[in-house]
């Protein structure tokens, strides 16, 4: 019951068809499950830093993509990216600490700071030994790796300083957040390419759900708009080459899409058990009720052509949420703007939802911010939470020509107020990793 003791009943029942009859989620049926809610949101994105600026821009359909400014992209196949412009870590982090961090860690620290402030998670309001951090990255300290490698070649090994290792490691962001706020509970840093942020949040959800922690900070961070990662992704020929029209290059589900646009940023959310949040009078945005995680086991860059992994992860998350497809009203899609992903994702949604798929509202933030790689799932989950909390869903911008392979409603004419009770956020990564999170509107005791 909303506002009650915070324990969800044990659920039993048949698993959805086409899903392993012995589901991964079965573990949670063997014990009481604590209800998990989102109480804080922190964001660093190409369209805004902090929840307010980001959400205002997202609903307005503002574009955050332009020609790369971090370096001269002329010689590269793709010339544009979703950069976090005019970012100054010194507004939030002291100068000495900031200099010892790569840009991706700075993003994570700023996002975590915003999330903690947003959740009113003051010191003393929680047991630090029951509060942890899961913040992942795909590439880690790319900027540092490039600059320090140049130093090594030019000046020799003694030119490298003592902080290079701590700046480049993928787990640095999670560790620095833990250290800064004295969070002594579970600590990890997943790296699952484009689904990293969603996996981090799903893993943190499981930890709180089973009672191993009361509070978890979770998300992802990426700052790979640097020459080496940029050139590497260009070489996969999966990035857009619409260089003459950067603002319209990211166009998910559009007939003329030609690839994704790289972005950068971070997303961190505060997850708490409902009892813990109510006990300290915390604000509650929404309830996280389901998580799925599957692998395509097919190809490193291309999704399985039948969408099998996507179908299974959606069904797994719905099963975990004890929800049927007919109860979902909005999907924040992975929607990369690549030919294969958008086509396969649309087909997977149609397979899971049947005729219901045509009345679903579906949108892709990547049309505005590009693909934030490991941070994408976290930022998109935060947007899904805000959609459930505010009732509004953001649009997919740059959609001009319908694709017969993508025949669904992608919210292409501006933000819409639909007041979804249940929504999904899904992420699909290089290597075949799939993650799906199900969010439910939180109803306080006495509300209807």
Q: In this structure, how many other beta carbons lie within 10 angstroms of the beta carbon of residue 38? A: 31
Q: Are 103 and 70 in contact (CB under 8 A)?
A: no
What gap in Å lies between CA 444 and CA 293, rounded to an integer?
30
282, two tokens: 């915390």
Listing DSSP states for 19-86 in one string gives: S-SS-GGGGGGGS-EE-EEEEEEEEEETTEESHHHHHHHHHHT----EE--SS--TTSS--EEB--TT
Catalytic residue flag (residue 334): yes
Q: Which residues pair with 424 in a beta bridge?
A: 331, 438
Q: Catalytic pick from 194, 234, 406, 436? A: 194
What residues contact 98, with CB distance under 8 A and at least 6 apart?
A: 89, 90, 106
Catalytic residue flag (residue 79): no
Q: Catalytic pick from 79, 114, 248, 371? A: 371
**Which helix (H) or strand (E) is 99 found in, with range?**
helix 95-99
Q: Catalytic pick from 79, 248, 276, 334? A: 334
What gap in Å lies between CA 58 and CA 383, rounded to an integer?
9
Burial class (CB in 10 A: 0-12, 13-18, 19+), 304: buried
| 182 φψ region: left (φ > 0), alpha (ψ -120 to 50), beta (else) | left
Q: Are 396 and 306 in contact (CB under 8 A)?
A: no
- The helix/strand/coil state of 154 is helix
Listing DSSP states for 177-234 in one string gives: HHHHHT--S-EE----GGGHHHHHHHHHHHHHHTTS-SEEEEEEEE---SHHHHHHHH
Q: Are 173 and 106 in contact (CB under 8 A)?
A: no
What does DSSP assign to residue 262?
Answer: B
Q: Which residues are catalytic?
A: 194, 334, 371
């Amino acid at each position: 019951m909303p506002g009650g003791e915070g324990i969800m009943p044990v659920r039993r029942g048949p698993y959805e068809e086409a899903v392993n009859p012995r589901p991964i989620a079965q573990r949670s049926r063997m014990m009481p499950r604590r209800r998990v809610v989102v109480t804080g949101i922190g964001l660093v994105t190409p369209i805004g830093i902090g929840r307010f600026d980001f959400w205002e821009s997202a609903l307005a359909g503002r574009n955050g993509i332009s020609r790369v400014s971090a370096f001269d992209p002329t010689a590269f196949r793709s010339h544009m990216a979703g950069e976090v412009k005019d970012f100054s870590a010194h507004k939030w982090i002291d100068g000495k600490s900031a200099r010892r961090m790569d840009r991706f860690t700075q993003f994570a620290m700023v996002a975590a700071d915003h999330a903690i402030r947003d959740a009113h998670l003051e010191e003393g309001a929680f047991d630090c030994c029951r509060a942890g951090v899961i913040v992942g990255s795909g590439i880690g300290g790319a900027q540092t790796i490039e600059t320090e490698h140049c130093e090594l070649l030019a000046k020799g090994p003694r030119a490298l300083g003592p902080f290079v290792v701590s700046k480049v490691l993928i787990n640095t962001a999670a560790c620095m957040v833990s250290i800064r706020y004295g969070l002594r509970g579970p600590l990890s840093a997943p790296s699952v390419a484009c689904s990293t942020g969603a996996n981090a949040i799903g893993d943190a959800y499981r930890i709180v759900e089973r009672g191993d922690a009361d509070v978890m900070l979770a998300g992802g961070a990426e700052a790979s708009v640097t020459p080496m990662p940029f050139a590497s992704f260009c070489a996969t020929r999966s990035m857009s080459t619409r260089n003459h029209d950067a603002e319209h290059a990211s166009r998910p589900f559009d007939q003329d899409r030609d690839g994704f646009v790289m972005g950068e940023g971070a997303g961190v959310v505060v997850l708490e058990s409902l009892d813990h949040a109510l006990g300290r009078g915390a604000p509650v945005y929404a309830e996280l009720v389901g998580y799925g995680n599957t692998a395509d086991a097919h190809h490193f860059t291309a999704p399985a052509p039948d969408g099998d992994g996507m179908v299974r992860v959606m069904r797994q998350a719905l099963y975990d949420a004890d929800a049927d497809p007919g109860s979902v009203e909005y999907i924040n899609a992975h929607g990369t703007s690549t030919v294969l992903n958008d086509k396969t994702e649309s087909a997977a949604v149609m397979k899971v939802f049947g005729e219901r798929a045509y009345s679903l509202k579906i949108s892709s933030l990547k049309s505005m911010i590009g693909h934030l790689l490991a941070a994408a799932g976290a930022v998109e989950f935060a947007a899904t939470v805000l959609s459930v909390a505010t009732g509004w869903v953001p649009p997919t911008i740059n959609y001009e020509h319908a694709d017969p392979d993508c025949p669904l409603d992608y919210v292409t004419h501006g933000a819409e107020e639909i007041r979804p009770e249940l929504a999904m956020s899904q992420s699909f990564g290089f290597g075949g990793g799939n993650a799906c999170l199900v969010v439910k509107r939180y109803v306080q005791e006495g509300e209807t």
